Chain A
Amino acid sequence: MKAGIIDYGAGNLRSVANAVHSLGIEPRIVTRGEDFADLTHLILPGVGSFGDSMEELQARSLVDPIREWIAQDRPFFGICVGYQLLFERGEESPGIDGLGIFKGSVGTFPDDGRKIPHMGWNAAQLTEPSDPLWAGIGESPFFYFVHSFFPAPIDKEVIAAETEYEGVRFASAIRRGNLVATQFHPEKSQQAGLRLLKNFLT
C-alpha cells in the first residue's frame, strides 16, 4: 500500500500527513501526475476557495491525472474543498469549472441568520452504516466541519452521509466504488476521523 497526498498548495497538507502517519502509514507527498503511477491510494486535501484550488490544480497539470485516476476507480479520498472540486461548478467562484466527476454544483447555506462558517463538531447520519468504510465508527458519528459551501449531488445514490445544520440537510460524504469524499475533516476528527482514514487505506 502506497498512499499519496496531493500537494497543490492547500494549507492543511501537514495535518492530513500527520493523521496518515499516526496510522502507521508513511504517506508520500505528490506534486506531479507522473508521481501517481506507483501509488495505490490518493488523497486530495483542501482548504481555501473552490476557484483558487481549481486554478492551482490546473497550473500544476494535475486535472487530467486526477480524472484518469478516478475513471479507473482507483482508491481516492477528497476532503473538504477536495470534495467540492469533484463537482461541476461552485457558487463561490462563478465561471471556473470543477473536475466534473459528479453532476451538481457547490452552493452555500441560505442567508437567514445562521452563523457562517458552519464550524465545529456535527453528526453524520450514515446512509449505509454497515458499509465497511464506517466500520468501528458507530451509527451517528461526530466529525469536525469548517466550511461555508457544500456540494449538492444530483445523483442521490452517491450520498454516503448527511448532516444537518440549523434546518439545512446536506451531503456530508459521498461514495462511489473506491472513491470517498467528505465535507468534514477526518484528519481533525480524532478517533472517528482516523478510523475512517484507516478504513479507506486498508
Chain B
Amino acid sequence: MLAKRIIPCLDVTDGRVVKGVNFVDLVDAGDPVECAIAYNEQQADELVFLDITASSDDRATMVDVVRRTAEHCFIPLTVGGGIRSVENMREMLLAGADKVGVNTSAVKEPSLVDAGAKAFGSQCIVVAIDAKREGPGKWGVYTHGGRTPVGLDALEWAKEVWNRGAGEILLTSMDSDGTQAGYDCELTAAISEAVGIPVIASGGAGNLDHMVEVMEKGKADAVLAASIFHFGTHTVGEAKAYFSERGIPVRPVL
C-alpha cells in the first residue's frame, strides 16, 4: 500500500536555513546541507528546500546546496523559490533535485507548467499554491507570502495546473500557516478531490494529530512541516510511529 509521506521543509535564504534548526547534534544548524542530512538520517520521506528570497544570486547558491545535498541524501529532493524558466528548472534538476516547485512564476505565466512537464516529465513539476479563504467553500490564490490576491479561484487553478501537466500540488493554507493550530482540512480535501495528482498539505502543523487529521479528513497524500520538526518537538520517526498506531500507512523507519 502506498505510504503517506512526511516531508520536512527547509526555508533558505542566502544559502542559510532561516530561523535555524534546533537539533542538538548539528554543528551548524544554519547550514541547509547539514540540516538535510539530519532529516535524511531521521528517514524523512522527501525533502523540500524553499528559497524564500529567490534572487538570481541566491539561485546560484542554491544550486550548490542542492548539489552537495544530493551527494549525501538518497531521498527525493524538491527545490522551489525563484524558478522562473525551463532553464532554471534544468539547472536545479542537473544539480541533483528530483522536482522543482513553481508558484508565482506559474501564476504569471501558466505555460511554464506545460513547458516544464514537456521537457522533464510531469513527475518533476510541483506547483505550489498559496490559498486563502474568501468565503464558505471558496479560496483565492495569493502570491508574495499571502499578501497579493491574484484573482484566481484555488480549485480552478489547481485543476488548471493538473491539466497543464503538473505532477503534484503543494498546497499551503495562508490562514493556517504559522498558527500551529492545524491544517485547513476543508481546503485540502476540496483540492485533493478536484485533481488526479497527489496533494501535499502545508501550513499549520502544531502537533501530530494535526497531521493525522489532514491525511484522513483532508485526504492529503503527504504532509509538509517545518517548525514541528525543526525545533525538535518531534522527530520524523516519532511522527511515523504515531501515524502507524492510528492506521495510517507509512514507510517504516529502519
Contact with A188, one of B3, B76, B198, B221 (Cβ below 8 angstroms): B76
Q: Which residues of A contact B94 (CB under 8 A)?
A: 14
Please state if B75 and A119 are interface contacts (CB–CB under 8 Å).
no
Verify B196–A15 contact, CB threshold 8 A: no
Contacts of B197 in A (CB 8 A): 115-117
Bound: A112/B40 CA distance, A: 35
Selected from B95, B222, B252, the residue in CB contact (under 8 A) with A142 is B252
Contact with B along A166-202 (1 / 0, CB 8 A): 1000000000000000000001111111100000000
Contact of B5 among A21, A49, A120 (CB under 8 A): A120
| Residue A22 is within 8 A (CB to CB) of chain B in the complex | yes
Q: Are B98 and A121 in contact (CB under 8 A)?
A: no
Given A142-B3, A144-B75, A165-B2, answer yes or no on A119-B251 (Cβ-Cβ < 8 Å): no
B43 in contact with A120 (CB, 8 Å): no
In whole angstroms, what is the CA distance A48 to B93 when docked?
13
Contacts A121-B3, A142-B3 given; does A188 touch B70 at CB 8 Å: no
Against A, the Cβ 8 Å flags (1 = close, 0 = not) of B60-96 are 0000000000111011100000000000000001111
Contacts of B231 in A (CB 8 A): none
Evaluate contact between B222 and A18: CB separation under 8 angstroms. no
Q: Which of B1-19 contact A (CB under 8 A)?
A: 1-5
Closest to A186 in B: B74
The one of A115, A138, A188 in contact with B98, judged by C-beta atoms closer than 8 angstroms, is A188
The answer to whether A123 has its CB under 8 Å from any CB of chain B is: yes
Residues of B within 8 A of A15 (CB): 70, 74, 96, 98
- In the assembled complex, A74 has its CB within 8 A of some CB on chain B: no
Is residue A146 contacting chain B, with contact meaning CB distance below 8 A? yes
A97-120 interface mask toward B, CB cutoff 8 Å, 1 = contact, 0 = none? Answer: 000000000000000000111111
For the residues of B in contact with A, the DSSP-based class is loop
CB proximity of A38 to chain B, nearest CB, Å: 26
Which chain A positions have C-beta within 8 A of B168?
119
B: interface residue count bin: 20 to 34
How many of chain A's residues touch chain B, expressed as a range?
35 or more
**With A and B bound together, what is the CA distance between A34 and B90 in angstroms?**
29
B74 pairs with A119, CB closer than 8 A:
no
Q: How far is the CB of B134 from chain A (nearest CB, A)?
A: 27
Select which of B40, B72, B74, B222 is within 8 A of A187 by beta carbon.
B74
Set of chain B residues within 8 Å of A117, measured between Cβ atoms: 122-123, 167, 197-198
* Bound-complex Cα distance A75 to B187 (A): 50
How far, in angstroms, from A193 to B72 measured CA to CA in the complex?
Answer: 14
B96 and A14: CB pair below 8 A?
Answer: yes
Q: Which residues of A contact B45 (CB under 8 A)?
A: 120-121
Chain B nearest Cβ from A144, distance in angstroms: 6
Asked if B124 is at the interface of the complex by the 8 Å CB criterion, the answer is yes
With a CB–CB cut-off of 8 A, which chain A residues contact B40?
190
C-alpha gap A138/B253 in the complex (Å): 12
Using a CB–CB cutoff of 8 Å, the interface residues on chain B facing chain A are 1-5, 40, 43, 45, 70-72, 74-76, 93-96, 98, 120-124, 167-168, 196-198, 221-222, 251-252, 254
List 17 A–B pairs whose Cβ atoms lie within 8 Å, in order of A's numbering: A14-B95, A18-B70, A21-B71, A22-B71, A22-B74, A115-B196, A117-B122, A117-B198, A119-B123, A120-B3, A121-B251, A142-B251, A146-B123, A164-B1, A165-B2, A190-B40, A193-B74
- Interchain residue pairs A-B with the least CB separation, the first 6: A121-B251, A142-B251, A121-B3, A146-B123, A122-B2, A190-B74
New A-B contacts (5) at CB < 8 Å, excluding given A18-B96, A48-B120: A11-B124, A47-B123, A117-B122, A147-B123, A188-B75
